Structure 1
């Protein structure tokens, strides 16, 4: 299969590329390198196993490369939930306008299938936890979440209007090797700078679901094969959750810092747009035959261990 991966040099994207190459796909990676890193896919590039084009989806010159592709994995996005409040127009352009441009390139060049990585934050502060895919009302509380929900809507409209197949995945917190943002990354870098004290945003009682990236990619590819119809949406996450203070303890432990002091900024959330309680219902993807054996705590420990190897 000829697959295109936008954002394929990024964190989740590069792990997806690893698996696509392993299963024998012909892969073209499109990435602006705004948040991605060529080092993540360097081995495939040097070995000639993939094609790569540095491209900003808001500019032109990449669309003709969609000719002959069978599936687009659209992962390119501005992933900064916290930062989205400061630059809402930029987030809209990078997450919504760019998605429409990908859909248009698909329509023009006859690409029949799109796989889109969305987010648990589209649910807002859900009153039902674990939160299922059919939860309503959908009331995002961050600009980032709103941009992802808008992109989902456009993808659904193209699938039904132009006969495409669309598979949308709402992720819990996906963590692991090559990540360059998030709470584990933040804690590890803070502790590297000051091993004696760690600032924790909020009260440390925020509880969320985490999943190691290898499990996320396996779930996504399984559901892509199993799904039917023009549009299908699946949650991907673990079946439990962990609080922020527990994450801090794990990161400190992996860094060999058992006596670090925690200092909390206060409040029930870390930043504007932060959802303090999140766990996704995963029965729908479970019904297709996929189940994770890795929970939030083990995912956090594996991710922290990998990050410590990278930065220390």
Structure 2
């Protein structure tokens, strides 16, 4: 039986991945400090005899090293994903994304763990000149501390794979939607509309064009990529072949909620420093291996709204 470790196991994507791995017969060690992860996301996992949870910080090297004993593969999903307010606490991206990734790699080296899947981001492309953006696109100036810290993590993984004969698979996600979603525009808009259904404040002009991916499609792609990647170091974009404007997403959310609020735009073509006004990734590389998403962006948004309406506790938990 293969034994894997999932960092960020109590998070949105991490907890969904844990459930899938357990369903597929893996022995899973979860690792999370619960700074943003939710214990309720692990209720089903905790009922499995093949799951064990370690409450620890990735900056705690001894604890991380101990948790990684007898592990075959690491799924490194833990990160600070707060792009919007990154300039207010720049050290956070360095510590929680770059240094944490270094610590994971060092724990792997000490325990002779040879495989790692890494959740990176399409933000590493900055404001790309090539749309849709392929994995080998020329790299522009970085526009967010989050993207820069993730790119540094990718570089460390590539170097460790060369230096210590590890295998690394990097997945550059678009924004992910779906069950257990607790961070992002759908979360913010639904929360605002629950508080005041008559109006909705929107950062930017609503014309920002973004791509999104349903969480179960994301997990399918990660597991598929890990199964089919043969190279020492690989990078895959993960997303759909479509995009929507923020205004489209607002319409879908309001239709699901049966609301017609007055929209108040802050103006400009982006909502904050580092907000890329157009994100669309070229995902042909992983498509060529046989993976494709099952839900459209609209279907992913609608499922996310359904989840948030049925799980109002997540808004209180994130406050």
Give me the whole-angstrom Cα distance separating, in 2, the residues matched to 1:43 and 1:283: 35
Greater Cα offset, 57-66 or 72-81: 57-66
Please name the residue that 1:54 is paired with. Answer: 55
1:183-216 per-position Cα deviation (integer Å, ceiling 9, x unaligned): 0000000001110000010000001111110100
Please name the residue that 2:290 is paired with. Answer: 289
1:7-62 per-position Cα deviation (integer Å, ceiling 9, x unaligned): 01100001111110010000000000011011101122134341001001112323
Normalising by structure 2, we get a TM-score of 0.95
Q: SS of the counterpart of 2:282?
A: coil
Please name the residue that 2:200 is paired with. Answer: 198
Please name the residue that 1:65 is paired with. Answer: 67
Q: SS of the counterpart of 2:311?
A: helix
Q: SS of the counterpart of 2:54?
A: strand
Please name the residue that 2:279 is paired with. Answer: 278
Give me the whole-angstrom Cα distance separating, in 1, the residues matched to 2:115 and 2:164: 11
Q: SS of the counterpart of 1:62?
A: helix
Give me the whole-angstrom Cα distance separating, in 2, the residues matched to 1:182 and 1:49: 32
1:149 maps to which of 148, 151, 154:
151
Please name the residue that 1:83 is paired with. Answer: 85
Q: Alignment length, in residue pairs?
A: 311
2:220 maps to which of 215, 218, 221:
218
* Residues 90-109 of structure 1 mapped to structure 2, 5 A cutoff: 90-109=92-111
Q: SS of the counterpart of 2:207?
A: coil
Greater Cα offset, 280-289 or 38-47: 38-47
Please name the residue that 1:113 is paired with. Answer: 115
CA RMSD in angstroms, aligned pairs only: 1.1
Give me the whole-angstrom Cα distance separating, in 2, the residues matched to 1:211 and 1:203: 23
1:92-132 per-position Cα deviation (integer Å, ceiling 9, x unaligned): 11100010001000001100100000000000000111100
* Residues 1-312 of structure 1 mapped to structure 2, 5 A cutoff: 1-59=2-60, 60-257=62-259, 259-311=260-312
Give me the whole-angstrom Cα distance separating, in 2, the residues matched to 1:173 and 1:61: 30
Structure 2 unaligned segments of length 5 or more: list them: 314-319
Structure 1 unaligned segments of length 5 or more: list them: none
CA drift of 1:306 comes to 1.7
Q: SS of the counterpart of 1:180?
A: coil
The answer to whether the Cα contact below 8 Å between 2:64 and 2:104 also exists between their aligned partners in 1 is no
The answer to whether the Cα contact below 8 Å between 1:122 and 1:139 also exists between their aligned partners in 2 is no
Give me the whole-angstrom Cα distance separating, in 1, the residues matched to 2:206 and 2:282: 23
CA drift of 1:84 comes to 1.1
Give me the whole-angstrom Cα distance separating, in 2, the residues matched to 1:49 and 1:275: 41
The answer to whether the Cα contact below 8 Å between 2:26 and 2:50 also exists between their aligned partners in 1 is no
The answer to whether the Cα contact below 8 Å between 1:250 and 1:304 also exists between their aligned partners in 2 is no
The answer to whether the Cα contact below 8 Å between 1:254 and 1:308 also exists between their aligned partners in 2 is no
CA drift of 1:279 comes to 0.5
Give me the whole-angstrom Cα distance separating, in 1, the residues matched to 2:9 and 2:309: 23
